Amino acid sequence: MEKELSEMTLEELWQLFPIFLAPHKSVWREWFIEEQKRLQLFLPGGNIMGIYHIGSTAVDGIWAKPIIDLLVEISLETELSVLKRCFLDNGYLCMAESPTRISFNRGYTKHGFAEKVYHLHLRCAGDKDEIYFREYLCAHREVAEAYEQLKLGLWKKYEHDRDAYTEAKTEFVLEYTKKAKMLYAGK
């Protein structure tokens, strides 16, 4: 009998869903737009301040995990629990939750990744460091290429340890997010 995803240990999930990178594909932007339109159909419009394509798939020309990252920015008055139910009712799985943030995914199956995989970050207004980081990478090709090389170097080492892979990138991401916020804050 096969285990459901919710019954698997973290190690079993990392085996089923390893880190893997692929050369940039223009179709990733199209997948983002499709998912953005899908979200607009079921999310209550008055609460949504923006739906953004973030992560490496949003940066032309660099290798990335072929998983589309989206940031949904909501007004401060919005009750996260209401939006959480909307996502769950529309095929998303809740991965992590705090009082001001919820992370979801879609495209993870009992047999591995679906063709299209999404990570969605639900955030309150102003909590958008990932947008700053994306903008910095898009504007500074040499930094984007350095980030790509860092990820390529970490890929096989942490192929089955997503937390360690993410942790190993954190210092780089924080450094350039800080620079981006100094450049772009208020724009």
Which of 127, 122, 110, 106 lies closest to 181 in space, CA to CA? 127
Residues of the chain with pLDDT under 70: 1-2, 186-187
**Long-range contacts for 93-96 (Cβ within 8 Å, ≥24 apart)?**
93/5, 95/119
Q: Domain count for the chain, please give it.
A: 1
**What's the pLDDT score for residue 187?**
56
**What's the pLDDT score for residue 176?**
98
**What's the pLDDT score for residue 46?**
84
**pLDDT tens digits for 108-161?**
988 889 999 999 999 999 999 999 999 999 999 999 999 999 999 999 999 999
pTM of the predicted protein model: 0.92
**What's the pLDDT score for residue 45?**
79
Residue numbers of the domain that contains 69 = 5-184
**What's the pLDDT score for residue 106?**
95
CATH number, domain containing residue 102: 3.30.460.10
Which of 120, 1, 124, 147 lies closest to 61 in space, CA to CA? 147
End-to-end CA distance of the chain: 54
H or E segment to which residue 148 belongs: helix 141-155
- Beta-sheet strand order (sheet of 48-54): 48-54, 68-74, 112-124, 101-109, 93-97
